[in-house]
Amino acid sequence: MDRPSWDEYFMQITELVASRSTCMRRKVGAILVKDKNILATGYNGVPSGITHCDVTGCLRDQLKVPSGERHELCRGLHAEQNAIIQAARHGINIDGSTVYCTDSPCIICSKMLINAGVTGVVFRRGYPDKLSLQMLEEAGIEYVQFKQSEDA
C-alpha cells in the first residue's frame, strides 16, 4: 500500500486549498498543522464580501507592480494571512504549528508567522523575497522547500 508521507499529504492539501483562490496572478494555499492535525486553511483572495479580482481585474497588473514587491498594492490577502485569521476567528491556538504553503511566504507573512508562534514552514515553490527567508532563519524557524519523492 502506497501512502503519502505526512509532508506529501499536507502539500497535496495545500494545492486543493489553493484551487479556491480567485487571484489572477498566483493561486496560493496554506494550511496550519500541529501534531499531524490541520488547524486552519487559507488561500489568497479578497476579504469576505468584496468583489473578487477575477471580476474587477488585477490591481497589481493594472499598476504594473512586479511580483514580490509592494504587497500593500493588492485587493487580496495572502493564504498564510487567511489561515492565521481563520484560526483567530475560531479561537484556535497555532503556537508551535507548522505552515505548509504552495509558495514560500513573503516578508509580511513571515513576520506574521513569527509573531503567531509558528515554528516551521514547508513550501513547494520559491518566491522572490529573500528577506522573508532571512527573517525566518533569524527567528529560529525551520523552513524547507518540499521536494516530491520519485515514488509519489
Q: What is the pLDDT of residue 14?
A: 98
CATH topology of domain 6-145: Cytidine Deaminase; domain 2 (3.40.140)
Domain boundaries, the chain: 6-145
Neighbours of 33 (CB within 10 A): 23
Q: d(Cα 55, Cα 48) in Å, to the nearest integer?
A: 14
- Count of positions (residues) in the chain: 152
Q: What is the pLDDT of residue 152?
A: 47
Q: Is the pTM of this model over 0.85?
A: yes
Residue 113, beta-bridge partner list: none
80 has catalytic annotation? yes
Question: Is 71 among the annotated ligand-binding positions?
Answer: no
Question: Is 101 among the annotated ligand-binding positions?
Answer: no
The pairing of strands 29-34 and 142-145 is unpaired
DSSP class of residue 77 equals B
Nearest to 35 by CA among 12, 10, 8: 10
Q: d(Cα 83, Cα 89) in Å, to the nearest integer?
A: 10
Question: Is 109 among the annotated ligand-binding positions?
Answer: yes
Residue of 8, 72, 80, 142 marked active site: 80
Residue 31, beta-bridge partner list: 41, 100
Q: d(Cα 144, Cα 141) in Å, to the nearest integer?
A: 10
Q: What is the pLDDT along the chain (152 residues), one digit of tens a residue?
A: 789 999 999 999 999 999 999 998 899 999 999 999 999 999 999 999 999 998 999 999 999 998 878 888 899 999 999 999 999 999 999 999 999 999 999 999 999 999 999 999 999 998 877 899 999 999 999 999 998 765 44
Q: What is the pLDDT of residue 151?
A: 47
Q: What is the pLDDT of residue 149?
A: 64
First to last CA, the chain: 12
Q: What is the pLDDT of residue 129?
A: 79
